[in-house]
Chains A and B, each alone.
Chain A
Amino acid sequence: DSGVTQTPKHLITATGQRVTLRCSPRSGDLSVYWYQQSLDQGLQFLIQYYNGEERAKGNILERFSAQQFPDLHSELNLSSLELGDSALYFCASSQTDSNGYTFGSGTRLTVV
């Protein structure tokens, strides 16, 4: 157990739907990062939050949004889902002075 918890582990939904992925960071970590891993795109950075505020944005679609709550857990919202959104979504957390991220085990999203 890495200490980063992601739920759900698996999600199957239809095109056009909206889903919410949840992440609880490791205790004491203020930063949360979201990554998308697909077969043809590798690991793509989506967005980073630090202590409730957005810190950096990557290749995140406008249909996707995220937030970090006062208790530091984070949610990634994916809407108007398309087949191409099927992927593994990882959350990672770190301390401000950390030398690396700690990853959760991911949420596998399948859009049918």
Chain B
Amino acid sequence: GEDVEQSLFLSVREGDSSVINCTYTDSSSTYLYWYKQEPGAGLQLLTYIFSNMDMKQDQRLTVLLNKKDKHLSLRIADTQTGDSAIYFCAERGNTDKLIFGTGTRLQVFP
């Protein structure tokens, strides 16, 4: 079946790194995504990783994929207050639809 799980909350100090974790169950996932949702807004695609990669870096964002354990993580370096939001991971299997996790609420405090 398709299921994506995330921890619900993460609180970090400004300037520290944040690591948001996600586990998924569909071994046929082709792409995995990270989306950001700010209050009152839609979901914004942050980054994605193809399933045959194990790492992708994009400025302050680093995505790590452990396909064996079906574990995905998003690391945000030098976290800022503007990074406070809900972060969703999502998997895309062999159909077009994305299955989203429950979202992790990141709170950044000064």
**Chain A residues packing against B (C-beta within 8 Å):** 2, 4, 31, 33, 35, 42-43, 45, 48, 50, 55-56, 58, 90, 92, 94, 96, 99-106
Contacts and interface: CB of A to CB of B under 8 A. Distances in A.
Return the 7 tightest CB-CB contacts between A and B, nearest first: A103-B42, A43-B100, A103-B43, A100-B45, A105-B42, A42-B102, A56-B97
Given A4-B42, A45-B98, 14 more contacts: A31-B96, A33-B97, A33-B98, A35-B100, A42-B103, A43-B100, A45-B100, A96-B96, A99-B48, A100-B48, A102-B45, A103-B42, A103-B44, A106-B41
A56 B95 CA distance: 8
Instruction: Identify which of A31, A58, A101 gathers the most chain B CB atoms within 10 Å of its CB.
Output: A101
B96 A106 contact: no
A106 B103 contact: no
B100 to A, nearest CB: 4
28 contacts: A2-B42, A2-B44, A4-B42, A33-B96, A33-B98, A35-B100, A42-B100, A42-B102, A42-B103, A43-B43, A43-B88, A43-B100, A45-B97, A45-B99, A50-B96, A56-B95, A56-B96, A58-B97, A94-B96, A99-B31, A100-B31, A101-B43, A101-B98, A103-B35, A103-B43, A105-B42, A106-B41, A106-B42
B87 interface: no
Contact of A48 (B41, B45, B97, B102): B97
Interface residues of B, number: 19
Interface string B81-97: 00000001000000111
A7 to B, nearest CB: 13
B97 A90 contact: no
A43 B90 CA distance: 10
Contacts of A35: 100
A40 to B, nearest CB: 10
Given A43-B88, A100-B33, A100-B48, A90 B96 contact: no
B86 to A, nearest CB: 10
Interface in B58-108: 88, 95-103
